[in-house]
Amino acid sequence: MVTRRKFIEFAGIGISLAARRGDGKGRTADEALQDLIAGNQRFAKGQVSAPRRRPDDFRALAEAQYPEAVIVSCADSRVAPEILFDVGVGDIFVIRVAGNIIGGAGATVKGSIEYAIAELNTPLVVVLGHSACGAVKSAIQHIDAKDKLPGSIEGLVELVKPAVSRSRGTPGDPLENAIRANVQLGVERLRGLEPILAPRVKKGTLKIAGGVYDLKTGLVTLL
Ligand SMILES: [Zn+2]
């Protein structure tokens, strides 16, 4: 049998290795996760390949997209998924919202994730928290506060509070614990999210992973 990879090798000429990786079709969750981890290690070492950013790469994807993973990350300016995973155009479907909130985030966040799973058949979702997250810090500071934060910041921080409550009293650094708990809550929420994600997780065709990005080392640690 000629595998897809072999076929592309045979077809060879003109199809670069880089172009092949922009196509997540047929990729398993584990392959996608390995790809992201390898890219993050290159990034942390300062050995990025900055793939698929040239006209030939984006033109090849103009008609359709086959991202290998959905990344739900914080909006923080230092946590740019394409950069820290050293991937290119078409590789990842990114949803960024302060505090990488999923529970209570509503149709815009959940619907975006579901679209990538149902319509694009993306096999992997990574909920990505990060060290020193301002949204989680605020939730810790305001968990017992009687005062209100301005505008919609109050509502946003409110959504992170369950993670703070869950991690309270556990040994270690309270902020780091709450950041991890916030990712874990997001992962749990997505694993049980009916009707699109949960059945696929049960069948094993979709994987939901959680990770925390360290602003100092540049490394993502999977939970
Ligand atoms: Zn953050």
For residue 11, report the distance from its CA to the centre of ligand 1, in Å: 44
Q: Are 198 and 191 in contact (CB under 8 A)?
A: yes
For residue 37, report the distance from its CA to the centre of ligand 1, in Å: 20
What tens digit of pLDDT does each residue of 19-53 get?
Answer: 344 556 678 999 999 999 999 999 999 999 999 99
For residue 100, report the distance from its CA to the centre of ligand 1, in Å: 7
For residue 98, report the distance from its CA to the centre of ligand 1, in Å: 6
Helix count (H) and strand count (E) of the chain?
Answer: 10, 5
Question: Measured in Å, how far apart are the chain's first and last C-alpha atoms?
Answer: 37
For residue 52, report the distance from its CA to the centre of ligand 1, in Å: 27
What tens digit of pLDDT does each residue of 51-80 get?
Answer: 999 999 999 999 999 999 999 999 999 999
% of the chain with per-residue pLDDT over 90: 84
For residue 200, report the distance from its CA to the centre of ligand 1, in Å: 29
CATH of 4-222, one of 3.40.1050.10, 3.40.50.300, 3.40.50.460, 3.40.630.30: 3.40.1050.10
For residue 76, report the distance from its CA to the centre of ligand 1, in Å: 5
For residue 156, report the distance from its CA to the centre of ligand 1, in Å: 12
pLDDT at 9 exceeding the cut of 90? no
The CA distances from residue 111 to 90, 124, 190, in Å, are 19, 16, 11
What tens digit of pLDDT does each residue of 119-146 get?
Answer: 999 999 999 999 999 999 999 999 988 8
For residue 7, report the distance from its CA to the centre of ligand 1, in Å: 42
For residue 101, report the distance from its CA to the centre of ligand 1, in Å: 10
Name the residues around ion ligand 1, CB cutoff 5 A: 74, 76, 133
Nearest residue to 128 (alpha-carbon basis) of 208, 196, 52: 208
pLDDT category at 209 given cuts 50, 70, 90 is very high
Domain ranges of the chain: 4-222
Two tokens, residue 117: 């799973």
pTM (2 d.p.) = 0.89
Buried b (16+ CB within 10 A) or exposed e, 105-134: beeebbebbbebbeebbbbbbbbbbbbebe
What tens digit of pLDDT does each residue of 107-116 get?
Answer: 999 999 999 9
